[in-house]
Chains A and B, each alone.
Chain A
Amino acid sequence: MITVENIHKSFGDNKVLKGIDATFERGKTSLIIGQSGSGKTVFLKSLLGLFQPEQGSISFDGSISKEMSDDQKRQLRQDMGMVFQGSALFDSLSVEENIMFPIKMFANQARSEMLDRVNAVLKRVNLENINAKFPAELSGGMQKRVAIARAIVMNPKYLFCDEPNSGLDPKTAIVIDNLIQEITKEYQITTVINSHDMNSVMEIGEKILFLKDGLKAWEGSNKEIFKTDNESVVDFVYSSNLFKKVRQVYLDETN
């Protein structure tokens, strides 16, 4: 479980996060949504430790990150997996080397053991026989799946995804969403996803955090988001006619 208490982050005079509280539970997919510039990326990077908040605290299963020793922080990093928006696979390494990279860096395993683990996670993300290929030879969807495989290869406790569906066709996007949710349940990971994709919100948003101007403007689930009367959320989530109609149908059916 990740607990965030009153975090603040500024860049010069620009206050990006202005005091956010949140809890992300184990075995659940939590989504952070909000308009561009609302502070989503800074919030996610603060969770990852890439930015240090000036105020407030972030704790991982009860351990407050800013009070951790360097060794504990290093260990925490190894418990984290991250799927970047552009996949961030290492161009110069093959798929196999990309996924094997964290094991090589942090575990003392024989090559055959490492290879078994790589093949197991590749199978888990429904990719096989692509070990020797390089990232440039893969489609966007395949790159995302390899990125997920690399993120889970060390059995992380926490999985972070930044716009995992960006640049994917709707069908592949759903495959990626479902894969992330399945992995979250299967390995009991605490998963936090930064997303713009309203399909993801509806499909896998077990917990949704809506950020506006650096503050948490709304919190709920994908069921509750249909019923909310929070104007900012309604304005953002149901900005398209299609989603307005979907919401209306849902409300008509449930009332």
Chain B
Amino acid sequence: MNYLEHVGKYFLMLKQVFKRPQKRSVFGAALFREIEDLGLKSIGIVAFISFFVGGVVSIQTALNVESPLIPKSLIGFATKRSMILEFAPTFASIILAGKVGSFITSSIGTMRVTEQIDALEVMGINSLNYLVLPKILAALLFYPLLVFLAIFLGIFGGWIAGVLTDLFHSLDYITGIQMDFDPFLIKYAFIKSVVFAFVIATIPSYHGYYVKGGALEVGRASTQAVVWTSVVIILLNYFLTQLLLG
């Protein structure tokens, strides 16, 4: 199947997904389950990575600012900008594409190969709507929060790294993060996180839903889903940046 056919099939899938849920109470329960599986269970990894990446960014910036003409507050400023502009919305999404994307593909793919999706269809349930819509909503609701958590912890990690290594003064760093604050950048991070959340929920769902074969194919589909989700995030990141900041 060529790429264009996959794209067409993906959009036809979305057409089935965006229908009114058949039973509101069942949909509500599924949504809370997905928020737990896709959102709450991702807090740990996002927090851990953001904290240390923030630390690394501040240390690297400090080590590269040798000129006495450049103020030390630049370290805090650079860490803040890096976290808001790129790390939190984009790289946290790529981490989530790996963690959550493989989970989504393998869980839906296993349902496909064990005929659980056929069972839903035989019961008269729109399986795409039942399985995928709660995942999309859970991701759209929760991932912006994760991104803001990543921004906060990254900046905090940068400050802790400075304090522990004595590469810069705490006050310089705090001055830096308060410097030249542009609220649009927060909006930019939010827009990117919402778009990437949609990609993280839908591309792995597509790969899982249309898998054919057995356990081996589910494994392959999970790998493909992570690769394609990451590729699409990187491409959209470029276009969104050009569109919003260019």
Enumerate chain A interface residues (CB-CB to B < 8 A). Answer: 48-50, 73-74, 76-78, 80, 82, 84-86, 88-91, 101-102, 104-106, 160
By beta carbon, the residue of chain B nearest A84 is B115
Neighbour of A105 across the interface among B26, B114, B118, B121, CB < 8 A? B26
Given contacts A105-B22, A105-B26, contact A85 B115 (CB under 8 A): yes
18 additional contacts (CB under 8 A) given A90-B116, A105-B23: A48-B122, A49-B122, A77-B124, A78-B124, A80-B122, A82-B122, A84-B115, A86-B115, A88-B114, A88-B116, A88-B118, A90-B111, A91-B110, A91-B114, A101-B123, A105-B26, A105-B123, A106-B123
Cα separation A160 to B23 with both chains bound (whole Å): 25
- Number of B residues near A (Cβ < 8 Å) is 16
Pairs across A and B, CB under 8 Å, 22 listed:
A49-B122, A50-B122, A74-B124, A76-B124, A77-B123, A78-B124, A80-B122, A82-B119, A82-B122, A86-B114, A88-B118, A90-B119, A91-B110, A91-B111, A91-B114, A91-B116, A102-B123, A105-B123, A106-B23, A106-B123, A106-B124, A160-B122
Given contacts A50-B121, A77-B124, A78-B123, contact A104 B26 (CB under 8 A): yes
Enumerate chain B interface residues (CB-CB to A < 8 A). Answer: 22-23, 25-26, 110-111, 114-116, 118-119, 121-125
Shortest CB-to-CB span from B214 to chain A, Å, is: 11
Q: Once the chains bind, are B125 and A50 in contact (CB under 8 Å)?
A: no
Q: Once the chains bind, are B122 and A77 in contact (CB under 8 Å)?
A: yes
By beta carbon, the residue of chain A nearest B123 is A102
By beta carbon, the residue of chain A nearest B117 is A88
Shortest CB-to-CB span from A145 to chain B, Å, is: 16
Cα separation A90 to B122 with both chains bound (whole Å): 14
By beta carbon, the residue of chain B nearest A89 is B116
Cα separation A90 to B114 with both chains bound (whole Å): 9
Q: Once the chains bind, are A105 and B122 in contact (CB under 8 Å)?
A: no
Chain B residue numbers with a CB within 8 Å of A89 are 116
Cα separation A49 to B123 with both chains bound (whole Å): 11
Neighbour of B119 across the interface among A74, A84, A106, CB < 8 A? A84
Given contacts A77-B122, A82-B122, contact A104 B23 (CB under 8 A): yes
Cα separation A48 to B121 with both chains bound (whole Å): 9
Shortest CB-to-CB span from A247 to chain B, Å, is: 34
By beta carbon, the residue of chain B nearest A48 is B122
Q: Once the chains bind, are A88 and B115 in contact (CB under 8 Å)?
A: yes
Chain B residue numbers with a CB within 8 Å of A88 are 114-116, 118-119
Cα separation A226 to B25 with both chains bound (whole Å): 53
Cα separation A48 to B120 with both chains bound (whole Å): 12
Shortest CB-to-CB span from B216 to chain A, Å, is: 17
Cα separation A138 to B196 with both chains bound (whole Å): 40
Chain A residue numbers with a CB within 8 Å of B121 are 50
Instruction: Determine which residue in B25, B118, B119, B121 has the highest number of CB atoms from chain A within 10 A of its CB, and name it.
Output: B119
Chain A residue numbers with a CB within 8 Å of B110 are 91
Chain B residue numbers with a CB within 8 Å of A73 are 124
Cα separation A39 to B26 with both chains bound (whole Å): 36
Cα separation A84 to B115 with both chains bound (whole Å): 7
Shortest CB-to-CB span from A87 to chain B, Å, is: 8
Chain B residue numbers with a CB within 8 Å of A86 are 114-115
Cα separation A105 to B125 with both chains bound (whole Å): 8
Q: Which 6 residue pairs are nearest across A and B when measured between Cβ atoms?
A: A77-B124, A88-B115, A88-B119, A82-B122, A84-B115, A74-B124
Chain A residue numbers with a CB within 8 Å of B114 are 86, 88, 91
Chain B residue numbers with a CB within 8 Å of A49 are 122
Instruction: Determine which residue in B26, B110, B122 has the highest number of CB atoms from chain A within 10 A of its CB, and name it.
Output: B122
Chain B residue numbers with a CB within 8 Å of A74 are 124
Chain A residue numbers with a CB within 8 Å of B22 are 105
Cα separation A73 to B121 with both chains bound (whole Å): 12
Cα separation A90 to B130 with both chains bound (whole Å): 13
Cα separation A89 to B114 with both chains bound (whole Å): 9
Chain A residue numbers with a CB within 8 Å of B118 are 50, 82, 84, 88
Chain B residue numbers with a CB within 8 Å of A91 are 110-111, 114, 116
Cα separation A89 to B119 with both chains bound (whole Å): 8
Shortest CB-to-CB span from A217 to chain B, Å, is: 27
